[in-house]
Amino acid sequence: MSIAALHGEGRHARSTEIERATMTIGAKRSERRVAVAVKVFDIWNEVDEVLTSTPTPQQILAFRPSQAAQERLRWLLDANSARPLSPDEEAELNETLAVENFMRRLKVRALAKVQA
């Protein structure tokens, strides 16, 4: 076998190792995204429960996130003040704040209906 052929096999082996390492890293990132998505999904799930129950404007105004959701948001905000958040924590915080913003907008509309 020629030196060029051996060199080519070594390149292929390194390429395969790099592909495996990349797949492993991708899988770990994917697992973290799923974990974040589950936490965020729980928050959206609470909102979904309220909205699919065809609430009155008063019930929308009375909605409060669960104690667990409130505690998690407080933890994320405190962590954000104390240190840089991990990418997963930052994504979770941003999505949680998006849910909060959505509910605030919904409550503004509900309040307008109550006051009309």
Give yes or no for a contact between 88 and 33, defined as CB atoms under 8 angstroms apart. Answer: yes
Number of other residues whose CB lies within 10 A of the CB of residue 85: 16
Amino acid at 30: S
Q: Provide the domain limits for residue 110.
A: 36-115
For the record, the structure tokens of 37 come out as 């998505």
What residues contact residue 33 under an 8 Å CB cut-off, 6+ apart? Answer: 88, 91
Q: Into how many domains does the chain fold?
A: 1
- The DSSP secondary-structure symbol of 86 reads P
Per-residue pLDDT of the chain (116 residues; tens, 9 = 90+): 445 444 555 555 565 666 665 556 555 555 555 555 556 668 889 999 999 999 999 999 999 999 989 999 999 999 999 999 999 999 999 999 999 999 999 999 999 999 99
- Whether 10 is in a domain gets the answer no
- Whether 29 is in a domain gets the answer no
Cα–Cα distance, 8 to 11 (Å, whole number): 5
Q: For the whole prediction, is pTM greater than 0.85?
A: no
